[in-house]
Structure 1
Amino acid sequence: MNAPFLLTWLAGTLLPLGTLWLVYRLALRGERCFEYNRALLLLAPLLAAALPLLPRPALPLWLNSSAVAVATSKVGVAAVLLPVVQAGPAAAPAAGWSAWEGVGAIYLAGVALGLGRLTWQVGRLWWLARRLPRERRPGYVLAYTGGRLPASSFGRVVFWDETADLPPAEAAAVLAHELAHVQQRHTSDVLWLEAWRAVLWPNPFAHLLLPALRLTHELLADADAAPATGAAAYPTLLARLAARQLGAPAYSPLLQPFTFSFTLTRIAMLQNQNPVRRWKQWLVLPALGGLFFLGSHAALAQIAPMPAEAQQKAQPDDVSRKIRLAERADSLRTGGKYEPGTTQQVNIAYGDKPGQEVVTITRVPIPRPVPQPVTSSGHKVYRYAEQMPQLPGGGGQVAITQAVQSKITYPKAAPGEVLPSGRVFANFTIDTDGTVQDAKIVKGLSPAFDAAVLAAVRQLPRFEPGKQNGQPVAVAFTIPVEFKAKP
Structure 2
Amino acid sequence: MNPLFDYLLKSVLWLCSFYVVYHFLLRKETFCKFNRFFLLTGIFASLIMPLIVVYHTIYTTVSVEDPLPVIATIPAIQAEPTMSFREVIQNTAILLYGVCLAYFIIRTAINLTPILKEIRKHQGNDALIHSRTFSSPFSFGKYIFIPESLSEQERELILAHEYTHTNELHYLDLWVTKAVCILQFFNPIAWLYAKAVQENCEFIADHQTFRNTTLKDEYLQLLIKYSVGHHLNPIALHFSFPLIFKRIKIMKQKQSSKLASLKSLMVVPLAGLIMVGFAQTKIVETKTVVKQQKASQPAASKTKVKPSTTQSESPSQQTDSQKATNQKGNETQQAGQDKKGANSVDEVVVVGYGAPETNDQQTSKRSDEVFTVVEELPKFADGPVQAFLAKNIRYPVEAQKNNIQGRVICQFIVETDGSISSVQVIRSIDPLLDAEACRVLYTMPKWIPGKQRGQIVRVKYTLPITFKLNK
With structure 1 as the length reference, what TM-score do the two structures score? 0.54
Deviation of residue 23 (structure 1)?
A: 1.0
The structure whose residues are more often strand, as a share, is 2
Q: Deviations over 1:91-120 (max 9, x none)?
A: 954899711111122223323332333333
- In structure 2, the partner of 1:271 is 252
- Structure 2 alignment gaps of length 5 or more: 69-79, 286-395, 406-422, 446-462
Equivalent position SS for 2:216: coil
> Percent of aligned pairs with the same residue?
20
- In structure 1, the partner of 2:37 is 39
Conserved? CA contact 2:26–2:264, under 8 Å: no
Q: Say whether residues 1:119 and 2:101 are aligned partners.
A: no
Q: Give runs of aligned pairs for residues 55-454 of structure 1, distance below 5 A.
A: 55-56=53-54, 58=56, 92-93=82-83, 98-131=88-121, 134-137=123-126, 141-146=127-132, 148-164=134-150, 166=151, 168-226=152-210, 227-242=212-227, 246-248=228-230, 250-274=231-255, 276-293=256-273, 295-296=275-276, 299=279, 301-302=281-282, 399-400=398-399, 402=401, 441-442=437-438, 444-447=441-444
Deviation of residue 39 (structure 1)?
A: 1.9
Conserved? CA contact 1:427–1:440, under 8 Å: no
CA distance in 1, matches of 2:35, 2:262: 12
CA distance in 1, matches of 2:251, 2:186: 35
Equivalenced residues, count? 314
Deviation of residue 186 (structure 1)?
A: 1.8
Equivalent position SS for 2:129: strand
CA distance in 2, matches of 1:270, 1:218: 11
Equivalent position SS for 2:2: helix
Instruction: Give 1:260's aligned amino acid.
Output: F
Conserved? CA contact 1:59–1:296, under 8 Å: no
Conserved? CA contact 1:58–1:302, under 8 Å: yes
**Higher gyration radius (CA):** 2
- Structure 1 alignment gaps of length 5 or more: 62-67, 78-88, 306-396, 407-423, 432-436, 463-487
Equivalent position SS for 1:458: strand
With structure 2 as the length reference, what TM-score do the two structures score? 0.56
What CA RMSD, in Å, does the superposition of the two structures yield over aligned residues?
4.4
CA distance in 2, matches of 1:169, 1:142: 16
The 1:135–1:426 alpha-carbon spacing in structure 2 relative to 1, beyond 3 Å, is same
Q: Deviations over 1:403-438 (max 9, x none)?
A: 6899xxxxxxxxxxxxxxxxx97676569xxxxx99
Deviation of residue 8 (structure 1)?
A: 2.1
Q: Deviations over 1:165-213 (max 9, x none)?
A: x2x3332111111111121222222111111111122232211111111
Equivalent position SS for 1:301: strand
The 1:232–1:425 alpha-carbon spacing in structure 2 relative to 1, beyond 3 Å, is farther
CA distance in 1, matches of 2:243, 2:429: 57
Conserved? CA contact 1:153–1:255, under 8 Å: yes
- In structure 2, the partner of 1:460 is 469
- In structure 1, the partner of 2:4 is 6
CA distance in 2, matches of 1:59, 1:94: 31
